[in-house]
Each structure stands twice: as structure tokens, then as C-alpha cells.
Amino acid sequence: MTSVLGRQRLPMLVVDTPNVVRDRASFSARGAGVLGMLSFGRHHTYVLDDDMELDVEALLRFRDRFAGGPVLVFGFTFMVWKYLHRRIVELGLDVDLSQAVLVHSGGWKKLQAEAVGNAEFKAALHASTGLRRVHNFYGMVEQVGGVLLEGATGTCTRRTSPR
């Protein structure tokens, strides 16, 4: 991750609800994914409420607090698309994430019906938020024991053990 994020832990916008990691009784793969990424960020801000609605106030507070600096955004692909990107567009919000790094994972099958592929995903996020640094993360389920992270060229790098 340091090849994409650098060595400093960045302020982190989590496209999920805080309960995804709080409720250990119903802990899921999604919760494990979020929990695993939290160590790469600081000042964690969750932008979805318990009803999976965008918490506009939290999003705007995060935007204002960390404006102009690098930040980390993490979410599952379909959630970033449906609950962040779409809502920003629908509400006409001004959310500048041009200095952000988005790491997203999973959920491509849920976007197939909308004909959203990797190129469309990136272009739409760039249009709605200015995001330019978008990295698809594979390995939570698909590659047990391996982590693949999409690099700047669109190819994946593989690490079979943590470093």
C-alpha cells in the first residue's frame, strides 16, 4: 500500500457505516475489509448512516477539514458508486477529492447491470469529485493469501506476504 499511499497515514473517508466494524456479532466480509484498511488511515470519517444514506454533513466536514491535502478514500466498489458518487451527483454537491487516493474493492458484479466498467467508474468519479488516483484492490476473497493492487498503469502488483 505504501507504493500508492506513501508512508504517512492519511485522513480517511470510509464509504460505509460505522456499524460495519462495531457489531462483532454480525461481522461480515465487508466489515473485515473495512477493518483491514483502517490501519492505513487516520481521522476516520464514515459517510453513510445506518440506513445507507449519505451523511452529507460528515462528508462536508471532512472536505472542509482536509481541503487541499492528500486523503485516503476507501469503500467497496458498488458502494462508492451507488452511495457516494451517485448521491453527490443527485444532490449537486461540491466535493473536491482531486488530492485523494481512492482504494476500492469488490462489487463489480453489482455494477454489471448498469454497464459500469473500470474506465467508466474512474471517468465518472473524476467528473463528480475530481478524483484521479483510483486503485482497485483485489484479494479479500478472490486471492486468499495474496493481495493485488491496481497501479497507475491499470495493471496489478502482487504481494504474497505482508511487508
Please tell me the predicted confidence (pLDDT) of residue 147: 53
Domain that holds residue 97: 2-159
How many separate domains does the chain show? Answer: 1
For residue 118, how many other CB atoms are within 10 A of its CB?
14
d(CA 124, CA 137) in angstroms, rounded, equals: 18
Nearest CA-CA partner of 84 in 125, 123, 32, 44: 125
Q: Enter the pTM of the model.
A: 0.81
Nearest CA-CA partner of 110 in 82, 140, 138: 82
Q: Residue 9 belongs to a domain with what CATH number?
A: 3.40.50
Please tell me the predicted confidence (pLDDT) of residue 94: 95
- pLDDT confidence tier of residue 148, bands split at 50, 70 and 90: low
Percent of the chain with pLDDT over 90: 47
For residue 4, how many other CB atoms are within 10 A of its CB?
17
